[in-house]
Amino acid sequence: MLPRFRKYHRPASVAEALTLLRRPTIRTVPLAGGTTLLCNPDPEIEAVVDLQDLPLGNVQPRDGWLHLGAMLRVQSLVEHPVLRQWAQGLVSRAARESAPLLTRNAATLGGCVASGDSVDPLLLALLALESVVVLALPERVERPLNSFLDGREGILASGVLITHVLLPPAGGRLGTSLLKVARTPADRPILNGAACLALDETGCCQKAVVALGGLGPHPVRVHTLEAALTGANLDAKALQKAAAQASLPPEPPTDARASGTYRRKVAPVLLERLLVKAWQQARHNPGQRGGG
């Protein structure tokens, strides 16, 4: 029920959308796919700005990066041939796991980023790839996704639009992984995570990025672990040790699926599996250029 809702807008440009969103007299929110906004709507909403006509639905390689329009439907992330290859298809796989097909057909990339859902695998994959969020304020501003999530509510409340998500180059000896712990194969995860490891020619870790979901209100990067791994020569024991010593949020939430205590106990197990899987993939990756 939206008792105060009285205006629907469908602008054709980002500038027009921002003008509508920034009106002080009427509480207006952007409407992308609707799968998050309308499933539990804020009763104070008075107007929506439907973004479907904005030119934000493209996938464009540019300077080694991949520019993803915020209005890309999640299912198009699953199907797009470039994304199926980019970083071993991590984004494509994560998008597929994020929701059933009927939801993916409507849900958008921008909506996923805006929701900040703690266990959305797509968001975890974007974090693991160190994605950048492009905002229209109206001036163009780029924020690392990690930083955006930290300040998400404040940023969104200021009447901005997410226009793009940028994926950094993902070449070289890269390995990625995406795993979860859940009551059933398709249940919302208790914990999940995504990892991305890049090795140099000697097997030394050039870069490690690990994101975990289910430990707080939004997904988190495990920075201490990443720092410990970067520059190290990796093997299974090193990964096991690093996972066990990782500094994780001290008080994970309790919900209907599991207690915080369980999450705290199992997070190192998940971390180790993420690292081992990504490392094994990277070891067997001869190194490809661009997004491969």
Partner 1 sequence: MEIRCTVNGEARAFQTSPSERLLDFLRRQGYLGVKHGCDDGTCGACAILLDGKAVLSCVLLAAQVNGHEIVTIEGIGTPKALDVLQRAFVNHGAIQCGFCTPGMIVAARALLEHNPNPTEEEVREALAGILCRCTGYVKPVQAVLAAARELRGEGTVSLPRMPQPEVAPGEGPPTPRPAPSPFDIEGLAHEPLPVRTDVDVEESPPWAMTWQEGQPTQVVGRSQPRVDGVKLATGRPAFTDDLWMPDMLYARLLLSPHAHARIRRIDASKARALPGVHAVLTCEDLPPVRFTTAGQSYPEPSPADTVSLDRKVRFVGDRVAAVAAESPAIAEEALRLIEVEYEVLPAVLDMEEAMRPGAPQIHDEPDARGIYDPARNLAAHLEAEAGDPDGAFAASYLVLEREYRTHQVQHTPIETHTCITWWDEDDRLVIRTSTQVPFHVRRILAPVLGLPPRRIRVIKPRIGGGFGVKQEVLIEDICAHLTLATGRPVRLEYTREEEFQSSRSRHPQILHLKAGVAKDGTLQAMEMRILGNTGAYGCHALTVQVNTGSKGLSLYRCQNLRFTMDAVYTNLPPAGAFRGYGVPQGFFAVESFMDELAEALGMDPVELRRRNWVQPGDVFALAKALGEGREGFESPIASCGLPECVEKGSAAIGWGQVRRTDPARPHIRRGQGMACAAQGSGVPGLDMGAASIKMNDDGSFNLLVGATDLGTGSDTALAQIAAEVLGVGLDEIIVYSSDTDFTPFDKGAYASSTTYISGGAVKKAAEEVARQVKAVAARMLQADPKSLTLAERAVWAPDGRHVSLEEVALHSLHVEEQHQIMATASHMSYLSPPPYAATFAEVEVDIQTGEVRVNRLVCAVDCGFAINPAAAEGQIEGGVTQALGYALCEEMAYDQAGRLINPNFRDYHIFRADEMPEVQAILVPTYEPSGPFGAKAVAEIPMDGVAPAVANAIYAATGVRLRQIPFTPERVLNALRRNAAAGFS
The residue with tokens 């994926």 is 167
Q: Does 257 bind partner 1 (CB under 8 A)?
A: yes
Distance in angstroms (rounded) separating the CA atoms of residues 283 and 202: 10
Q: Which of 75, 88, 177, 281 binds partner 1 (CB under 8 A)?
A: 75
The C-alpha atoms of residue 132 and residue 15 are separated, in whole angstroms, by: 21
Show the tokens assigned to 277: 């899987």
Candidates 55-63, 203-211, 212-220, 258-266 — which segment interacts with partner 1 by CB under 8 A?
258-266
Q: How far is the CB of 260 from partner 1 (least distance, A)?
A: 11
265 binds partner 1 (CB under 8 A): yes
| Residues 161 and 135 sit within 8 Å (Cβ to Cβ) | yes
Q: Pick between residue 82 and residue 266 the one whose CB is nearest to partner 1.
A: 266
**Residue 102 C-beta-side C-alpha neighbours within 13 Å:** 0
**Under the criterion CB under 8 A, does residue 188 sit at the interface with partner 1?**
yes
Q: 36: helix, coil or strand?
A: coil
Q: How far is the CB of 183 from partner 1 (least distance, A)?
A: 4
**Pairing mode of beta strands 47-50, 7-9:** parallel
Question: Of the ranges 19-27, 102-110, 142-150, 282-290, which one interacts with partner 1 (CB under 8 A)?
Answer: 102-110
115 binds partner 1 (CB under 8 A): no
End-to-end CA distance of the chain: 46
Q: Site residues (CB under 8 A) for partner 1?
A: 1-3, 5-8, 10, 31, 33-35, 38-40, 47-48, 50, 52, 75, 99-103, 105-106, 181-188, 190, 255-259, 262, 265-266, 269-270
